[in-house]
Amino acid sequence: MILAYLGTPAMAVPPLEALVAAGHDVAMVVTRGDKRRGRGSDTSPSPVKSAALALGLPVSHEVDDVLGLGVELGVVVAFGQLVKPHVLAEVPMVNLHFSLLPRWRGAAPVERALLAGDHETGVCLMQLEEGLDTGPVYARVPVPIDPRATADELRATLVAVGTDLLVEQLAHPLGMPRPQVGEAIYARKIAPSELRIDWSLPVAAVDRLVRLGGAWTTFRGMRVKVLAAEPDPTVVAPAPGLRLLRVQPEGKPPMPFADWARGARPASDERFE
């Protein structure tokens, strides 16, 4: 099958590589433009662009470039942009989405499922429409969420399951998709303000935020990232209900919490803010 592939981050690399390994002809890969690195003029490609070039595939930053290539199907995985109707009119497309639609439509389905304390998520292969993740579904695979899984671990599991699903579904003509059923819930991007730990929340909610990645708090006016922790009701300070395992003080590299505590010497009643 002659394909176009639209994707950007690292999680979109395994499906691309698997499609090529399965013998599909990828006529064009579309991804975001190169980003500037630091303060200089050097730029860096997206992970998908790097993978595509390594595979010898043509790459573009413009979705319209898939037109006129004889593409039979477009495959979209974490592309990060909406595809315009005139493109969809010429090139039918499917989207590999990392949730059980219609729950968690949108940009951050993995993160929102984890933050919400969901016990299950999954992967859907859906027909791409102009609306945001509104298309009917060809196939879906439920995936349980391990109670201690981090967002990175859950994402890796979903990518592996989704890659297998994609290759399996494209090995033969796609059947008729089924409309989404249920309440639509949107997974908006995680705002930086959401990553600050609110210590008045239940311990379970704080633990989920830490497992999301990027959670931070302050100590004596300085920012401290909480990289790893586990619930422990015996802990009173500095993080009530959480045994901290790894932190990153502002301006310093990540370190075991014990090393940080030896340097900071928090008082017995001193807490993160």
Q: What is the pLDDT along the chain (273 residues), one digit of tens a residue?
A: 899 999 999 999 999 999 999 999 999 999 998 887 766 667 899 999 999 999 999 999 999 999 999 999 999 999 988 899 999 999 999 999 999 999 999 999 999 999 999 999 999 999 999 989 999 999 999 999 999 999 999 999 999 999 999 999 999 999 999 999 999 999 999 999 999 999 999 999 999 999 999 999 999 999 999 999 999 999 988 999 999 999 999 999 999 999 999 999 998 889 999
**pTM of the predicted protein model:** 0.93
For residue 102, what is the DSSP state? T
Report how far apart, in Å, the C-alpha atoms of 221 and of each of 46, 49, 133, 250, 273 are.
36, 41, 42, 10, 8
pLDDT for the residue numbered 41: 66
Residue (of 169, 163, 127) closest to 51 by Cα position: 163
What domains, with CATH codes, occur in the chain? 2-186 (3.40.50.170), 192-264 (3.10.25.10)
Q: At what angle do helices 47-54 and 13-21 cross, to 10 degrees?
A: 20
Q: For residue 191, what are the β-bridge partners?
A: none
Asked if 141 contacts 157 with a C-beta cutoff of 8 angstroms, the reply is no
- Three-state secondary structure call for residue 32: coil
